[in-house]
């Protein structure tokens, strides 16, 4: 009895300090144990990681703050429309694993700009690749840093900016010290933390609401109250009563759903921080194996996210809608202090009027809090609430570390060693990589403190940028031996510029701004990566027709990397 009272009275904040402290100590300990002593260890962990460890690390690298915090948050508000993120990111990973990873592994280049520079036999192509990699990575890492700031501000009750700075210091320590070797084994630990943290509350709430311990089945089940009502039917009713769309029906146009899904899919295939993971194993066969294992490990969270979204949305509507503000539980008041829930009592009646009509609506809820607040809304034990905080930090920090490594490798390996100073010593290159990582963390921190939109929207734009710039150059580079440097460079430049133009016009109001009514072809900025990618393909192929063929030796390399007979060893 005494023990249970102690556990109960320990409090969310203390539990968070304990669990976050333990996990951070583990990450730093691993970084010290696995610190990189050479550029090979810094960039690709010495190329000796087992398929299982690489699969877990890839899954952690892949499942960022956007997957952990934002995806279920978007689905909980947008319902059917939010499923585009689920489809796009899952399909994209399959595309990457089957279509690109083995060929890039066989080509033997461990950064995307390095592949582009060598395949297109040009330092100009390499420079364009470096610039694109930096734009994509910084856009992506901005979302991760905002996720870190969110968790710190609510659970450790520090200012959101202070939270970002603490996250920067932690990630800097193990990314700079350990390089890819340290990051790989840290990400194995982070996968275990994030998947446990995501699934435990999901299982608890599924049992609580439907009696089914498997969340993936629970959200399609009948409620445990004996009413015979299905959970999704109940949520549809709650949503329409408040004036929202039916939860299980979409409002996005078909073309926008298609564009966003495709942009997320092909953007995945051009993401530098995921591609580099396939170089940390010994053989091409291991690259395929780790890709398959990573997919199975990712599916656990991705199939549970819609269930978590439904649980969180149902519980939140029932807790706050038409309830007296004075009766709001402690979690509501705590989230209010972060500015992520705002109650504006327009008619001064003390009742929360939460409706779809913006004129009458009195409650604004940030999508990013749904997963984090979910265990509190469901009144789960304090240690479960703290566990979710530790899991969200693991998801954000693992991806941030992978991105920082891409940024530092792009600067030290692709820019300095391959272009500026080819005679730099290995020690000098390692120092340059670490300094680049320090600068990258500072820039990422700035974006985390001044973020462009909620986490998943920022991350979706990074996918659009990757789709617009890298995907056509990589695909044509592998599967079309006649593709030349002039076409590839022109395509990448036009592709990324068109995406940047559209994104800044409709997201940030530049170039005269624009509203949803002015979207080209009815496609949102998150989906415009698909259009920019098509422009890239067209420009690449047209320019190629009027410029010289690639040298014969380059065409021979392209022929060689597509031959499966050498699949035992990667060529270097």
d(CA 506, CA 148): 26
- The rounded percent of the chain whose pLDDT value lies above 90 is 16
The pair of structure tokens assigned to 532 is: 């920019």
Mean pLDDT on 204-211: 92
Residue 10, in any domain of the structure: no
pLDDT at position 2 over 60: no
At residue 488, the pLDDT reads 95
d(CA 183, CA 268): 20
Q: What is the pLDDT of residues 390-439, one digit of tens each?
A: 888 887 777 777 777 777 877 887 788 888 888 888 788 878 888 888 88
At residue 37, the pLDDT reads 65
**Contacts with 93 (C-beta within 8 Å, 6 or more apart), sequence order:** 62, 268, 274, 294, 295, 298
Query: Helices marked H in 112-250 — which ranges?
Result: 112-119, 123-155, 160-210, 215-218, 231-241
At residue 76, the pLDDT reads 87
At residue 168, the pLDDT reads 81
Rounded to an integer, what is the distance from CA 180 to the centroid of its chain?
18
Name the pLDDT band for 367 (thresholds 50, 70, 90).
Answer: confident
Q: What is the pLDDT of residues 147-179, one digit of tens each?
A: 777 777 777 777 777 878 887 887 777 666 666
At residue 58, the pLDDT reads 84
The pair of structure tokens assigned to 436 is: 């680049």
Rounded to an integer, what is the distance from CA 226 to the centroid of its chain?
39
First vs last C-alpha separation in the chain: 64
At residue 451, the pLDDT reads 63
At residue 455, the pLDDT reads 55
- The rounded percent of the chain whose pLDDT value lies above 70 is 90
User: 51 or 37, which is more confident?
Assistant: 51
d(CA 454, CA 70): 8
At residue 566, the pLDDT reads 46
Residue that is written with structure tokens 């941030």 in the block? 400
Residue 215, in any domain of the structure: yes
Burial classification of residue 337, based on how many CB atoms lie within 10 Å of its CB (0-12 exposed, 13-18 middle, 19 or more buried)? exposed
d(CA 140, CA 191): 19
Residue 510, in any domain of the structure: yes
At residue 46, the pLDDT reads 57
Q: What is the CATH number of the domain that holds 96?
A: 1.20.1730.10
At residue 219, the pLDDT reads 84
At residue 308, the pLDDT reads 92
Q: What is the pLDDT of residues 17-47, one digit of tens each?
A: 888 888 888 877 887 776 666 666 666 655 6
Hey, CA dihedral for 65, 395, 16, 198, is it positive or negative? Answer: positive
pLDDT at position 389 over 90: no
The pair of structure tokens assigned to 137 is: 């990575």
Residue 3, in any domain of the structure: no
Q: What is the pLDDT of residues 486-541, one digit of tens each?
A: 999 999 999 999 999 998 888 777 777 777 778 888 888 888 999 999 999 999 99
Residue 11, in any domain of the structure: no
Task: Write out the H or E segment, with its range, that includes residue 287.
Answer: helix 284-320
Mean pLDDT on 463-488: 91
**Contacts with 522 (C-beta within 8 Å, 6 or more apart), sequence order:** 253, 255, 256
Mapped onto helix, strand or coil, the DSSP state of residue 227 is coil
Highest mean pLDDT among 378-382, 431-435, 557-561: 378-382
Residue 8, in any domain of the structure: no
Name the pLDDT band for 213 (thresholds 50, 70, 90).
Answer: very high
pLDDT at position 277 over 90: no
Name the pLDDT band for 268 (thresholds 50, 70, 90).
Answer: confident
Domain with 440 in it? 16-566
**Contacts with 237 (C-beta within 8 Å, 6 or more apart), sequence order:** none
| Mean pLDDT of the residues in the chain | 82
Name the pLDDT band for 1 (thresholds 50, 70, 90).
Answer: very low
Mapped onto helix, strand or coil, the DSSP state of residue 388 is helix
Residue 346, in any domain of the structure: yes
Say which DSSP state 548 is in. P
The pair of structure tokens assigned to 378 is: 């469901």
- Number of domains comprising the chain: 1
Residue 2, in any domain of the structure: no
Q: What is the pLDDT of residues 89-124, one digit of tens each?
A: 888 888 877 777 778 777 776 677 888 888 898 889
Residue that is written with structure tokens 């982070």 in the block? 190
């Amino acid at each position: 009895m005494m023990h249970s009272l102690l556990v109960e009275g320990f409090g969310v904040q203390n539990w968070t300090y304990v669990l976050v402290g333990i996990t951070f100590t583990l990450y730093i300990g691993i970084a010290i144990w696995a610190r990189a002593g050479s550029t090979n260890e810094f960039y690709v962990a010495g190329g000796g990681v087992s398929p299982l460890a690489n699969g877990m690390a890839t899954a952690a690298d892949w499942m960022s703050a956007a997957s952990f915090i934002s995806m279920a948050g978007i689905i909980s508000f947008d319902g059917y429309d939010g499923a585009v993120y689920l489809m796009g990111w899952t399909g994209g990973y399959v595309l990457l694993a089957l279509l690109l990873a083995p060929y890039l592994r066989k080509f033997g280049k461990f950064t995307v700009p390095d592949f582009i520079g060598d395949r297109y036999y040009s330092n100009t192509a390499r420079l364009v690749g470096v610039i694109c990699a930096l734009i994509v990575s910084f856009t992506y890492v901005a979302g991760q840093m905002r996720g870190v700031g969110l968790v710190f501000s609510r659970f450790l009750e520090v200012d959101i900016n202070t939270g970002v700075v603490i996250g920067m210091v932690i990630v800097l320590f193990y990314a700079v010290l350990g390089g890819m070797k340290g990051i790989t084994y840290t990400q194995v630990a982070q996968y275990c933390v994030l998947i446990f943290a995501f699934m435990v509350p999901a299982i608890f709430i599924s049992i609580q609401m439907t009696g089914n311990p498997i969340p993936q089945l629970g959200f399609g089940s009948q409620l445990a109250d004996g009413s015979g009502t299905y959970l999704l039917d109940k949520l549809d009713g709650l949503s329409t009563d408040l004036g929202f769309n039916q939860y299980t029906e979409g409002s996005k146009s078909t073309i926008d759903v298609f564009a966003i899904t495709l942009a997320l899919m092909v953007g995945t295939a051009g993401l530098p921080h995921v591609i580099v993971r396939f170089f940390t194993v010994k053989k091409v066969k291991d690259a395929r194996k780790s890709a398959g294992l990573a997919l199975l490990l990712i599916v656990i969270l991705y199939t549970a996210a819609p269930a978590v979204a439904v649980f969180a949305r149902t519980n939140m509507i029932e807790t706050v809608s038409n309830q007296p503000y004075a009766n709001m539980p402690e979690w509501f008041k705590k989230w209010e202090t972060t500015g992520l829930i705002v109650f504006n009592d327009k008619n001064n009646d003390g009742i929360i009027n939460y409706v779809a009509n913006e004129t009458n609506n009195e409650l604004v809820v940030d999508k990013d809090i749904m997963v984090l607040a979910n265990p509190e809304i469901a009144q789960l034990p304090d240690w479960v609430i703290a566990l979710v905080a530790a899991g969200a930090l693991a998801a954000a920090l693992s991806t941030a570390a992978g991105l920082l490594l891409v940024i530092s490798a792009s600067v030290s390996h692709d820019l300095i060693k391959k272009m500026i100073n080819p005679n730099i010593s290995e020690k000098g290159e390692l120092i340059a990589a670490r300094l680049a990582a320090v600068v990258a963390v500072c820039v990422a921190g700035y974006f985390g403190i001044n973020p462009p939109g909620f986490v998943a929207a920022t991350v979706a734009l990074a996918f659009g940028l990757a789709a617009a710039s890298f995907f056509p150059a990589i695909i044509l580079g592998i599967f079309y031996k006649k593709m030349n440097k002039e076409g590839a460079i022109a395509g990448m430049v036009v592709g990324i510029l068109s995406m940047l133009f559209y994104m800044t016009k409709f997201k940030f109001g530049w170039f005269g701004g624009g509203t949803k009514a002015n979207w080209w072809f009815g496609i949102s900025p998150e989906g415009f990566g698909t259009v920019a990618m098509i422009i890239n393909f067209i420009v690449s192929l047209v320019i190629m027709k009027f410029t010289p063929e690639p040298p014969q030796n380059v065409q021979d390399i392209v022929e060689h990397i597509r031959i499966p007979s050498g699949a035992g060893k990667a060529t270097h």
